[in-house]
Structure 1
Amino acid sequence: METASKWTIEELKKYQWATLFSMHKGYICFILILDILSMIAAVTAFHYGYRILTAEFIIFILIIPLVIYLITMYRVKKNYKSSKFLQTTVTTFKFAEDRFEAISERGHSVIRYDDLYKVIETKTNFYLYISNNQALTVIKANCSDELVSFLKKLSKSKGKISDSRTAHGGESFSTS
């Protein structure tokens, strides 16, 4: 089974969000706790008649996710524009029973499935993580039904992450 993937700015955005929501849950929990505590403080300030303080807390609650989004998008665009490697590389994946090969004009890698750190499936892609923050992207639209089925089985058999929960940018994933 074989497929090819090319990094585009959109693919890089999808990868970033999948990584953020599935691999950095502690960071997301911290932000949520901070927002909840700020909401409690806003309700308390409102209850005691501190309208300006209430407004400040509400603005703070709204700004945190917005700032995270803007910083993430800025980083993605900056990284993509600065890397001609990302913009021009097409990777061909050849899947065998116990390993896969990633082949591009820049090199050739053979990776055993047992050596994968994690597999994340989203609505549009599979991310084959070789470490906690480095993954190879397999675009589902470029895959045969047989390959999609194989990769779904791989992700489930390894006790990794598979499809079901919606995330930012139309991607979905969940922890099995």
Structure 2
Amino acid sequence: MEIKTKMLFEDIKAYYFYHYGKKVLGYFIFLIFTVVATFFFRGYQKGDRFDVYMLLISIILGIIISSVFSSLYILYLLWYGKRLLKSNKLFRYEQTYIFDDEGIFNKSEIGEAKIKWKDFYKAAETKKAFIIYVSRYQAFIIPKREIKENQGIQYIRNLLKSSLNGNFK
């Protein structure tokens, strides 16, 4: 099966949210807990007894502070994704991926490579793409929008399942 694609910002964005979405949620929850604990237990240091008002203020401040820092982190990821798209020469050219039983053949104006299935680290499927890792930090992003038919998506899914020995989510 042959797929031709050119990387778009939406592809980079989907990749980052796949990787960092849980991390952002974790930071958000951690910051809420930290702020609530800091403000709430500060009242106990002063010798005050349990104060519902202080607890509510702590929760509201925790949500506000967590939202600000989580939003800044998301904006940073989006900025970095745009910068990556502009600076990476491979992303400027159309990529051709040919899937077969031996591996993936990747071709662009810069060059070409055949990577055998045994040389891939792992693969994952998201709503918008297949992410096929060459190493822990490098991957091919194959947008599903470029796969014209549902049978093609199923073909790639089955090929990844059978070729990567359980390293496909």
Whether TM exceeds 0.5 here: the answer is yes
**Secondary structure of the corresponding residue to residue 101 of structure 2:** coil
Say which of 46, 71, 76 aligns to 1:71.
76
User: Share of identical aligned residues, percent?
Assistant: 25
What whole-Å deviation, never above 9, does each CA across 1:150-173 have from its counterpart, x for those lacking one?
A: 2212343432343xxxxxxxxxxx
> Structure 1: any 5+ residue segments left out of the alignment?
163-176
Structure 1 residues 85 and 154: alpha-carbon distance in aligned structure 2, compared to 1, 3 A threshold? closer
Matches within 5 A, 1:12-23: 12-21=12-21
- Deviation, 1:81, is 2.7
| Aligned: 1:82 with 2:78 | no
**Secondary structure of the corresponding residue to residue 97 of structure 1:** coil
Say which of 81, 90, 95 aligns to 1:91.
95
**Secondary structure of the corresponding residue to residue 127 of structure 2:** coil
- Deviation, 1:104, is 0.6
Equivalent residue letter for 2:127: K
- TM-score normalized with structure 1 length: 0.73
Contact 2:128–2:145 (CA<8 Å) still a contact in 1? yes
CA RMSD between the two structures: 2.9
**Secondary structure of the corresponding residue to residue 159 of structure 1:** coil
Distance 2:157 2:28 in 1: 31
Distance 1:3 1:83 in 2: 20
- Deviation, 1:28, is 5.0
Q: Give the number of the structure whose residues are more often strand, by fraction.
A: 1
Distance 1:14 1:81 in 2: 17
Contact 1:6–1:89 (CA<8 Å) still a contact in 2? yes
> Structure 2: any 5+ residue segments left out of the alignment?
44-49
**Secondary structure of the corresponding residue to residue 134 of structure 2:** strand
Moved more, 65-74 or 29-38: 29-38
- TM-score normalized with structure 2 length: 0.76
